[in-house]
Amino acid sequence: MAKDLTARVRHDWTRTEAADLYARPFFDLLYQAHTVHRAEFDPNRIQMSRLLSIKTGGCPEDCSYCSQSARNGSELSASKLMEVERVLAEARKARDAGATRYCMGAAWRSPKDRDMAAIEAMVKGVRALGMETCMTLGMLSGEQTLRLKEAGLDYYNHNIDTSEAFYGEVITTRTFADRLETLERVREAGIKVCTGGILGMGETAGDRIDMLVALANLPEQPQSVPINMLIPMEGTPLQDAAPVDPFDFVRVIALARIMMPQSHVRLSAGRTEMSDETQALCFFAGANSLFMGDTLLTAPNPDQDRDMVLFGRLGLKPEEAAPILEPTGVPAAAS
């Protein structure tokens, strides 16, 4: 049997070690991943997040998978930044439906300083509702990062998407190093990091392994690791991409759990294409977070009723909300 590499959080994973784990017999890999998961988390609890697009379309980046890119042919019209009160009204609905984390995404290369006051108000307002906050706004300057920290932002999402070697095949308007630079700023500011990738863009198994090695070997492992299955969007360069083999997808979830034992591993985009059985294998392999609601930015997502039926069949329950603390350490009052 292969040497057990699961005893502690590590930042020195090699590609060979990770590839050996990935290549283990399927059930051996799942057993090891589930053992790690059970040691770190309640295996029957799933953290529930809600994602809202607060500014859709018109992004100047050329991400091959994204319908919000102004360079792609999806014909998605650009919108202005959503009003703060509308965002908070949607957040209340999400909280009342069981979400404990509220994620807000804007289709920007990076935010403009003129929009930061509204962004900060959104963060403060959502935290006052008793939910964790997450933003994904593109690349950040040092000053913007500090403003988000001072507003009380809990998580910042900035996916690395794929391996460094394959990155240029998907995106040319920024570099892999640009992504890591923003993640470093966020981490050094004391904001929790949410970063993961997308499967199904034409990458190899080796690219998927390299992506996880890059994430696991960050100076501090991401607190949240979203793993997306590509939903081919009409009008994008990847609209005809081949589907991901379900067992390969589960292997990536299991490897992420073993290599990042204390991170929440999130099933993100692509669940509409997964059977209940595939999702169940993912939960067993260590996925313990998902997005609720029928839309993820511009992509479809299973509705909450379907998720609750599946949870009932599997004996799973939503994770309870963690206390939201003010910078002073005093719990924030939910309204």
Catalytically active residues are 59, 63, 66, 103, 134, 194, 266
- In angstroms, the CA 25 to CA 29 distance is 6
Contact 83, 30 (CB under 8 A): no
Residue 193 Cα distances to 23, 138, 153, 155, 196, angstroms: 28, 13, 11, 6, 10
φ, ψ (nearest 5 deg) of residue 262: -105, 5
C-alpha span between 166 and 268 (Å, rounded): 21
Task: Provide DSSP, 142-158.
Answer: HHHHHHHHHHT--EEE-
Q: What is the dihedral of CA 226, 328, 86, 113, to 10 degrees?
A: -80
Pairing status of strand 299-300 against strand 295-296: antiparallel
Cβ pair 265, 253 in contact under 8 A = yes
Query: Cα(295)–Cα(303) distance, rounded to whole angstroms?
Result: 8
C-alpha 132/C-alpha 183 separation (Å) is 19
Q: Report the C-alpha dihedral over residues 181, 205, 238, 233, rounded to 10 degrees.
A: -90
Residue 269 CB burial class (10 angstroms; 0-12, 13-18, ≥19): buried
| 139 vs 148: CA distance, rounded Å | 13
